[in-house]
């Protein structure tokens, strides 16, 4: 498996859905430890689709899947009965706000509200001095005319990085409960050849439509090793006590670009 950019785990069925930014959708079953991912007997499906995935989420209310798609000039949010379903509905479609910076992250809350976040901001937000980006919230994303709410999230830019990497990146978001979202922010410093990554607990204020955030895990300080190009994130259990993160190797192999699976346990 190469280019893994999205992950969702469905504890009720035991399925792990991994997607690639070059169209592949993989389904694994009966995963009990990370080593099971390299055991071919657990691979249930390997399917090529026309989508360049950045994130995927199962939407249990209507038994559908949401995913983000990012091509060279256009980025989209779609949903269908299966991952990569070509008979799909488009919830959002727009020109790419910046080079390789499109719709990146999806979260579904227990109440079936949908959150979506761009990697570095919407059009007009991808500037190094822009200190917030906008998250969209859809209370009923499958409605005929869905309502969208906007919340300002305080983004950590990466002044130490080079070119468009200075904008920073939200790699993935994940619902903790109906009021809090876990946000994975990541930067790449080409001069140092290192990835910095942090997990934040973000809490929306319903009156001001802004987020406050609190650092939950600093990979540079708390992870015992080199952190790679983290792209995908999902809860492994219904109790949300075990978090799985997967790095995207970008179809290359070096210190920060390789297949890496990290498992964190809540304390």
H-run or E-run covering 222:
helix 219-222
Encode pLDDT of 192-227 as tens digits: 888 899 999 999 999 999 999 999 999 989 998 889
Look up the pTM and report it. Answer: 0.95
- Neighbouring-strand partners of residue 19: 6, 25
Give the Cα separation of 207 and 128 in Å (integer). 27
Question: What pLDDT does residue 257 have?
Answer: 67
Give the Cα separation of 173 and 245 in Å (integer). 11
Q: What total number of domains does the chain contain?
A: 1
Give the Cα separation of 211 and 201 in Å (integer). 10
Question: What pLDDT does residue 98 have?
Answer: 84
What CATH number does the domain containing 20 carry?
2.115.10
Question: What pLDDT does residue 163 have?
Answer: 85
Average pLDDT, stretch 123-127?
Answer: 90
- Say whether pLDDT at 256 is over 80: no
Structural domain range at position 108: 4-265
């Amino acid at each position: 498996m190469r280019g893994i950019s999205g992950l969702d785990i469905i504890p009720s069925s035991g399925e792990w859905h991994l997607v690639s930014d070059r169209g592949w959708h993989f389904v694994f079953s009966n995963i009990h430890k990370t080593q099971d991912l390299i055991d071919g007997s657990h691979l249930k499906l390997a399917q090529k689709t026309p989508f360049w995935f950045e994130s995927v989420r199962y939407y249990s209310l209507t038994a559908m899947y949401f995913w983000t798609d990012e091509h060279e000039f256009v980025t989209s949010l779609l949903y269908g009965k299966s991952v990569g379903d070509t008979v799909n509905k488009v919830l959002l479609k727009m020109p790419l706000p910046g080079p390789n910076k499109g719709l990146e992250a999806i979260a579904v809350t227990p109440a079936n509200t949908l959150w979506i976040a761009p990697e570095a901001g919407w059009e007009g937000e991808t500037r190094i001095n822009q200190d917030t980006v906008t998250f969209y919230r859809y209370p009923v994303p499958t409605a005929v005319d869905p309502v969208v709410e906007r919340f300002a999230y305080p983004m950590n830019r990466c002044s130490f990085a080079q070119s468009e990497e200075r904008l920073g990146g939200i790699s993935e978001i994940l619902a903790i409960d109906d009021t809090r979202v876990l946000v994975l922010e990541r930067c790449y410093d080409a001069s140092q050849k290192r990835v910095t990554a942090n997990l934040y607990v973000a809490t929306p204020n319903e009156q001001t439509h802004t987020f406050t955030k609190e650092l939950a895990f600093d990979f540079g300080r708390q992870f015992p090793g080199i952190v790679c190009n983290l792209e995908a994130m999902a809860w492994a259990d219904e109790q949300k006590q075990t978090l799985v993160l997967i790095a995207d190797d970008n179809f290359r192999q070096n210190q920060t670009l390789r297949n890496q699976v990290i498992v964190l346990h809540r304390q």
